[in-house]
Structure 1
Amino acid sequence: MSQRSKPQRPKLRILSYLLVITFFGIILSVGTYYSYYAQVGERGVNEVNAVLMSENKKVFEPVLPDRNISLPQDFQFHPDFQHEWWHYFANVEDESGEKFSIQWSFFRIATDERETTGWQSPQLFISNVVITSKSQVWKEQRLARGGIGQAGMNNRPFRIWIDNWNWRSLGTTPFPGRLSISTDTFGIELNSITKGPYVLNGENGYQEKHDLLPVASYSFSAPFLSLNGSLTLEGETKVVSGTAWLQKEWGSGLLGEGQQGWDWFVFNLEDGSSLSINRYRHNQQLPYVFGTLATRSGRVFQLTEADIEITPLNNTTLFNGRRLPLQWIINVPEHQINLTTRIQRRDMWLPFVIPYWEGPIMASGSHEAVGFMQLTGY
């Protein structure tokens, strides 16, 4: 019996080693998981504010309230500032009545304040595009270094591009303009024109984002756009038409210390007006809330926290384990606006360089509305 049992000992020893390694592997994984989420909870560290926070070692042009927005000049790049981005949200319908939502973003982020060309340029460009239907999502991201011609901007005529994705117009403003995007799985050709005035957010385009820290940006939007064009999906081209919203924003350090992220909603209401609501979240502080209500006739109402009631409902756990509120109640009592939002799809977490949830939403209550929601820092 003793001779037959000896060959089993190496196998038992190997099995014991494997069990020990597995045990410590599990402990290490759990420890890393809880360590990361403890940092997020205690210090407010996440992928968004790690990129967009101000850094004292870097010198960029400050965002000050005495600078007024000037159009069309301010459609151009502002390289003296650290961040700059365009957001384009569109709701379209094809000839058979099928509906699609389109999200296109174009970011410029400077790693430092140097003014150099070629591969030494500190400018980074990021562009995201997402198309959503009732049953499917198409998405892609492009990244480029500034200074080598892969991405950039021209003012006369207006054009911004990254690779073969571009927005171009015949004049100095984006409108009328054409968004052209081509990938291996989908394509976009959309022509947009303005059907209402531009809207300056905040005080003449100066938008504060914290009640104590000097965190602000310059911001304006074109929320009244009409569009037509085509979508190519899975090899089939569809003629589409609809409405869209474009917002431009730039600054230096769009998040301050302790800011975790933001919740942003844009709505086109059934009465023809547009509503933008922002909720900037802070670590161990109350959120900072602001918004803009605008009409096609040119009336603009700047909304403060005193004007807005915004309540997130139950959190939803996504497939990646992140928990975030996907349904909200948004009221603006003075303007008789009472909205309850609902999403079209829950699987709209976008695992881009700066990850966030962004997708089409609808709202009902005092008004019927369609729009988009962006949730970052969760």
Structure 2
Amino acid sequence: MKLSVGLMLLASLLGGCDNPPAPEKGFAGLGDQAVAFTPVVPGRTFSFPADHGAHEGFRIEWWYVTANLKDAQGRDFGVQWTLFRSALDAAPQADGWRNQTIWLGHAAVTSATVHHAAERYARGGVGQAGVQAVPFNAWIDDWQFGTQASSADPLADMQLKAHDSRFSYALRLTSTRPLVLQGDNGFSQKSEQGQASYYYSQPFFQASGQLEIDGQRYTVSGPAWLDREWSSQPLTANQTGWDWFSLHLDSGEHLMLYRMRHKDGAPYLTGTWIDAQGHSQALQAGDIELAPLGTAKVAGRAMPVRWSIKVPGKHLDVTTEALNPAAWMDLRIPYWEGPVRLEGSHGGNGYLEMTGY
């Protein structure tokens, strides 16, 4: 559930310096009212491949990939790639520099000892960044997430690549499993007040390829996860941040869960259990026990990098541990994101994102 940490920043940087941004409401402004934009309501019928593409009329959306990788020596790595689309205007978008769409890219790599992150920005309408549904391709500059598939499923065979002065990666992602609609058939609620996104995932990707960190090259492989969300107001003004997990279990099952933290009151907690065949079951707060177990000092903050996760109805009782506790995304709007390992009733790995600390 990758929410756009760059929404307010993009508006202030590229939306016009003579119009200062409104006071922030909720984390990164994601609780701002968006009455001019298309609302997210239950009952949407998803259509593929069209819904892999951009959704004009909605304020914010993202294409988000994480991968848990190993090399031949068994060393663990993590890779993240995200493209955000932020609309500054609800009207249909014009071509050229009159376009009111802003794009933001995040890319990162993590090992047990190193974490590097980079970001890129682009204005829509001039070809520097964008997403096309057929054939599927998402890009910002020369960072790319695009299909190589010749089948009817454009996500069956994907290429993922990004680079910075300190790292690069080029991965092939393949899957024969179905997409998973999160929440209530793709309607993913974020608060008791009804804020929501449209949300689907491909948690069954298998990745392989090349990863380079600080001049050292590795041949790597492992599971990967795609999240796709779009919304117009995904948070309330009272929500200060979130803790989000995507977990690959050694049993072949998968788990997505998140808690939305509030300035006051209990967090909003929900998730999805995905069996090995791709069938999903929505989890409510009463189905999940989620608690931080230990913190690390990261960028002057106490970050909860060790967690207990229990889903009693699925006989899951695990502890997650960060591969690298210092996986701080030191970007314009900073947050923590990195790979985690599991121990307990199930083994496995996954990703954790924490914002608003």
Q: TM-score range by the shorter chain?
A: 0.7 to 0.9
> Is the Cα–Cα contact under 8 Å of residues 196 and 296 in structure 1 kept in the other structure?
no
For 1:159, the equivalent position in structure 2 comes to 137
- 1:249 and 2:229 matched: yes
Residue 322 and residue 112 in structure 1: after superposition, are their counterparts in 2 closer, same or farther (change >3 A)? farther
> Is the Cα–Cα contact under 8 Å of residues 48 and 355 in structure 1 kept in the other structure?
no
Question: Mean Cα displacement is larger for which, 97-106 or 335-344?
Answer: 97-106
Deviations 1:180-237, CA, capped at 9 Å, x for gaps: 22333322111101142211101110011111x1200000101011121112333443
Deviations 1:233-285, CA, capped at 9 Å, x for gaps: 33443322221111111111111121111110111111010001110111212
The amino acid that maps onto 2:39 is P
How do residues 203-214 of structure 1 correspond to structure 2 at under 5 angstroms? 203-211=184-192, 213-214=193-194
For 2:12, the equivalent position in structure 1 comes to none
> Is the Cα–Cα contact under 8 Å of residues 340 and 349 in structure 2 kept in the other structure?
yes
Q: TM-score, normalised by structure 1?
A: 0.83
Q: Distance in 2 between matches of 1:270 and 1:287?
A: 29
Report deviation, 1:61. Answer: 0.4
For 2:89, the equivalent position in structure 1 comes to 112
For 1:186, the equivalent position in structure 2 comes to 167
Question: Mean Cα displacement is larger for which, 128-137 or 284-293?
Answer: 128-137
Among 134, 137, 140, which residue is 2:112 paired with? Answer: 134
The amino acid that maps onto 1:239 is T
Structure 2 residue matching 1:313: 3-state secondary structure: strand
Report deviation, 1:46. Answer: 7.1
Structure 1 residue matching 2:332: 3-state secondary structure: coil
Q: Distance in 1 between matches of 2:163 and 2:41?
A: 39
Residue 217 and residue 321 in structure 1: after superposition, are their counterparts in 2 closer, same or farther (change >3 A)? same
Q: Distance in 2 between matches of 1:366 and 1:48?
A: 36
Bigger RCO (CA 8 Å, 6+ sep): 2
For 1:17, the equivalent position in structure 2 comes to none
Q: Distance in 1 between matches of 2:325 and 2:126?
A: 38
The amino acid that maps onto 2:339 is P
> Is the Cα–Cα contact under 8 Å of residues 47 and 355 in structure 1 kept in the other structure?
no
Structure 1 residue matching 2:266: 3-state secondary structure: strand
For 1:275, the equivalent position in structure 2 comes to 255
> Is the Cα–Cα contact under 8 Å of residues 111 and 324 in structure 2 kept in the other structure?
no
Q: TM-score, normalised by structure 2?
A: 0.87
Provide the aligned C-alpha RMSD in A.
1.9
Question: Mean Cα displacement is larger for which, 248-257 or 110-119?
Answer: 110-119
Among 71, 85, 100, which residue is 1:122 paired with? Answer: 100
For 2:320, the equivalent position in structure 1 comes to 341
Among 311, 333, 348, which residue is 1:354 paired with? Answer: 333
> Is the Cα–Cα contact under 8 Å of residues 197 and 296 in structure 1 kept in the other structure?
no
The amino acid that maps onto 2:320 is T
Q: Distance in 1 between matches of 2:345 and 2:183?
A: 25
Among 223, 230, 238, which residue is 2:203 paired with? Answer: 223
Deviations 1:75-121, CA, capped at 9 Å, x for gaps: 11112111101221111222333321111111111122232332232
Report deviation, 1:307. Answer: 0.5
- 1:197 and 2:178 matched: yes
Report deviation, 1:148. Answer: 1.3
> Is the Cα–Cα contact under 8 Å of residues 224 and 296 in structure 1 kept in the other structure?
no
How do residues 291-330 of structure 1 correspond to structure 2 at under 5 angstroms? 291-318=271-298, 320-330=299-309
For 1:49, the equivalent position in structure 2 comes to 27
Q: Distance in 1 between matches of 2:75 and 2:302?
A: 31
Q: Distance in 1 between matches of 2:204 and 2:177?
A: 5
Q: Distance in 2 between matches of 1:48 and 1:317?
A: 25
Structure 1 residue matching 2:313: 3-state secondary structure: helix
Report deviation, 1:48. Answer: 7.0
Q: Distance in 2 between matches of 1:102 and 1:82?
A: 27
Structure 1 residue matching 2:267: 3-state secondary structure: strand
- 1:237 and 2:217 matched: yes
- 1:363 and 2:342 matched: yes
The amino acid that maps onto 2:119 is Q
How many percent of aligned residue pairs carry the same amino acid? Answer: 37
Q: Distance in 1 between matches of 2:252 and 2:282?
A: 17
Residue 222 and residue 368 in structure 1: after superposition, are their counterparts in 2 closer, same or farther (change >3 A)? same
Q: Distance in 1 between matches of 2:27 and 2:112?
A: 32
Among 11, 35, 39, which residue is 1:62 paired with? Answer: 39
Structure 1 stretches lacking a partner, 5+ long: 1-44
For 1:79, the equivalent position in structure 2 comes to 56
The amino acid that maps onto 1:124 is I
Could you say which structure has the higher helix fraction? 1
> Is the Cα–Cα contact under 8 Å of residues 89 and 246 in structure 1 kept in the other structure?
yes
Q: Distance in 1 between matches of 2:115 and 2:300?
A: 20
For 2:11, the equivalent position in structure 1 comes to none
Q: Distance in 2 between matches of 1:361 and 1:170?
A: 29
Q: Distance in 2 between matches of 1:298 and 1:179?
A: 23
